Amino acid sequence: MQPITVASQTMAMATANFSSLAPFSNSKLPSFHGYLKPISSSNSTNLFRVSIASIGYRKPISTQLQGNRLVSFGVKCQAAGDDGFLEPPRVYQGVYGPWSVDSTDVREVISYRSGLVTAATSFVLVSSTAFLPDDFFLTEFLEQNIDILYTFGATGLGLSLVLIHIYVTEIKRTLQALWVLGVFGSFATKICLAQPADESLVQYVVDHPTAIWFIGPLFAALTGLVFKEGLCYGKLEAGILTFIIPSLLLGHLSGLMDDGVKVTLLGVWMALFVIFAARKFTQPIKDDIGDKSVFIFKALPEEEKAALIQKLEQQKFSES
């Protein structure tokens, strides 16, 4: 048992940055909650090989003990899930081949949804000033910071428009261009018009409906985003927002809508925007990715696209 004891001590030192290994029994390594798994062991040669799951890292070495003398040492690192510790990612069949959700996709989708939550929260806080009494303790705070909240909301919307998955690139670029125009128009309105009048940007737009021409593209981009969500997922709140947002802005711009109707539509907008943003987190991650194989295909060089299409056509012909 002495060679095995030496081997135990050696392996424990090598994996100290992972955890301490339990005592060996019958020349077999412990499972270590799925992270350590013996590939092979032999009492006659005292040869041990270890598989340590470490995401994205592989560094093969080798190890062998002869008697009490350490000849060489090795650790083989595999991607988590290769040895059964983690379930393999689910594979979806796309138009251009199979695909799966990876960690980058998860981060992008969470960031996309977080941007929508930021936009919705900021919009609700800014719009609530139309409903709160003047002597309410939060009213003064919101009015003093209303442009900062507007900026947070615009930034959250911009993040979502960068990360949104739309198959037609031209549509995505159009929404992003509208956002840029809206941000530039908001900044110009604040500096050139609202600030000289000693008003916040939001209050200036309320008092001067023609300012909708400058900030309107920002909300046109928002309308395009909720329209896409309603079209892709059949969400009722997104479909209603697609009509409420332009109706309220155009009604304010034209002066054809009285204040009572505008306040009512604003309240509905607030409620539906909160529901819309909250319900995004009830969807599977894959929903916001769409058919990932389409985006992979669009990123390929033209030669590889042609080769892939030819291969898919041959497969379809052979299956028919």
Whole-number pLDDT of residue 100: 93
> What residue type is assigned to position 52 of the chain?
I
149, 151, 166: which is closest to 112 by C-alpha?
166
Whole-number pLDDT of residue 206: 95
pLDDT, average across residues 79-86: 39
pLDDT, average across residues 163-186: 97
Residue 311 is classified by DSSP as H
For residues 307 and 21, the model is more confident at: 307
Whole-number pLDDT of residue 76: 40
Distance of CA 116 to the CA centre of its chain: 11
Whole-number pLDDT of residue 87: 54
Whole-number pLDDT of residue 57: 41
pLDDT tens per residue across span 208-257:
999 999 999 999 999 999 999 999 999 999 999 999 999 999 999 999 99
204, 227, 230: which is closest to 150 by C-alpha?
204
92, 101, 115, 234: which is closest to 163 by C-alpha?
115
Distance CA(251)–CA(303), nearest Å, equals 51
pLDDT above 90: percentage of residues in the chain: 64
213, 206, 209, 160: which is closest to 188 by C-alpha?
213
Whole-number pLDDT of residue 246: 97
Angle at 234 between CA 272 and CA 166, to 5 degrees: 95
> What residue type is assigned to position 156 of the chain?
G
pLDDT, average across residues 299-310: 91
Distance CA(159)–CA(157), nearest Å, equals 5
Lowest mean pLDDT among 175-184, 196-205, 239-248, 299-308: 299-308
* SS3 of the chain: helix, strand, coil, percent, to 5: 65, 10, 25
Map residue 242 onto helix, strand or coil. Answer: helix
Distance CA(228)–CA(112), nearest Å, equals 14
CB 254 within 8 A of CB 210: no
CB 19 within 8 A of CB 50: no
pLDDT tens per residue across span 21-71:
344 333 333 333 333 334 444 443 333 333 333 334 444 444 444 444 444
Strands (E), 14-149: 36-42, 47-53, 64-66, 69-72, 76-78, 91-94, 97-100
Angle at 89 between CA 83 and CA 95, to 5 degrees: 140
Map residue 314 onto helix, strand or coil. Answer: helix
Whole-number pLDDT of residue 54: 36
CB 143 within 8 A of CB 129: yes
CB 25 within 8 A of CB 7: no
Residue 32 is classified by DSSP as G
Whole-number pLDDT of residue 127: 95
Q: What is the pTM of this model?
A: 0.71
Q: What pLDDT band is residue 187 in, cutting at 50, 70 and 90? A: very high
pLDDT tens per residue across span 203-216:
999 999 999 999 99
Cβ contacts of residue 242 below 8 Å, gap of 6+? Answer: 223, 226, 227, 230
Residue 79 is classified by DSSP as -
Q: What pLDDT band is residue 315 in, cutting at 50, 70 and 90? A: confident
Tokens of 144: 């003093």
Angle at 4 between CA 83 and CA 57, to 5 degrees: 30
Distance CA(140)–CA(289), nearest Å, equals 41
